[in-house]
Amino acid sequence: MTDSLLIPLHVKYIQSLDKRTDELEYWLTEHLRLNGLYWGLTALDLMNNIEALPRDQIINYVKSLQHENGGFGGHTGHDPHMLYTLSAIQILVTLDAVDVIDKDKVVAYVVSMQNEDGSFRGDQWGEVDSRFVYIGLMALKLLKRMDAIHVDKAVQWVLQCQNYDGGFGNTPGAESHSGQVCCCVGALALTDSLHLIDQDMLGWWLCERQLKNGGLNGRPEKLEDVCYSWWVSSALAIIGRLHWIDKEKLSQFILSAQDMEDGGISDRPGNMVDVYHTCFGVAGLSLIGYPGLKKVDPVYCMPEHVIARIGLKK
Residues that bind Zn ion (CB under 5 A): 225, 227, 267
Other CB atoms within a 10 A radius of the CB of residue 223 amount to: 12
Q: Which is nearer to Zn ion, 113 or 301 (CB)?
A: 301
CA distances from 271 to 39, 45, 238, 256, 310 (A): 19, 25, 30, 11, 38
Amino acid at residue number 265:
I
CB of 209 to Zn ion, least distance (A): 13
Residue number with the smallest Cβ distance to Zn ion: 227
CA distances from 182 to 93, 173, 178, 274 (A): 21, 17, 6, 21
Q: Which is nearer to Zn ion, 267 or 297 (CB)?
A: 267
CB of 212 to Zn ion, least distance (A): 19
CA-to-CA distance for 308 and 314, rounded, in angstroms?
A: 8
Backbone φ and ψ of 169, nearest 5°: -110, -175
Q: Which is nearer to Zn ion, 154 or 257 (CB)?
A: 257
CB of 101 to Zn ion, least distance (A): 30
Q: Which is nearer to Zn ion, 225 or 259 (CB)?
A: 225
CB of 41 to Zn ion, least distance (A): 19
CA-to-CA distance for 162 and 181, rounded, in angstroms?
A: 8
CA quadruple 154, 155, 159, 161: dihedral sign: positive
Q: Which is nearer to Zn ion, 208 or 225 (CB)?
A: 225
Partners of 297 in the beta sheet?
A: 302
CB of 267 to Zn ion, least distance (A): 4
Q: Which is nearer to Zn ion, 32 or 58 (CB)?
A: 32
Give 85's contacts (C-beta < 8 A, 6+ positions apart).
70, 71, 72, 106, 109, 110, 135, 139
Q: By CB neighbour count within 10 A (0-12 exposed, 13-18 middle, 19+ buried), where does 51 fall?
A: exposed
Q: Which is nearer to Zn ion, 171 or 271 (CB)?
A: 271
Q: By CB neighbour count within 10 A (0-12 exposed, 13-18 middle, 19+ buried), where does 105 fall?
A: middle
Three-state secondary-structure class, residue 101: coil
CB of 218 to Zn ion, least distance (A): 8
Three-state secondary-structure class, residue 118: coil
CB of 273 to Zn ion, least distance (A): 12
Contact (Cβ atoms closer than 8 angstroms) between residue 206 and residue 232: yes
CB of 219 to Zn ion, least distance (A): 13
Q: Which is nearer to Zn ion, 161 or 279 (CB)?
A: 279
Q: Which is nearer to Zn ion, 45 or 225 (CB)?
A: 225
Using only C-alpha atoms, what is the Rg of the chain? 18
CB of 134 to Zn ion, least distance (A): 18
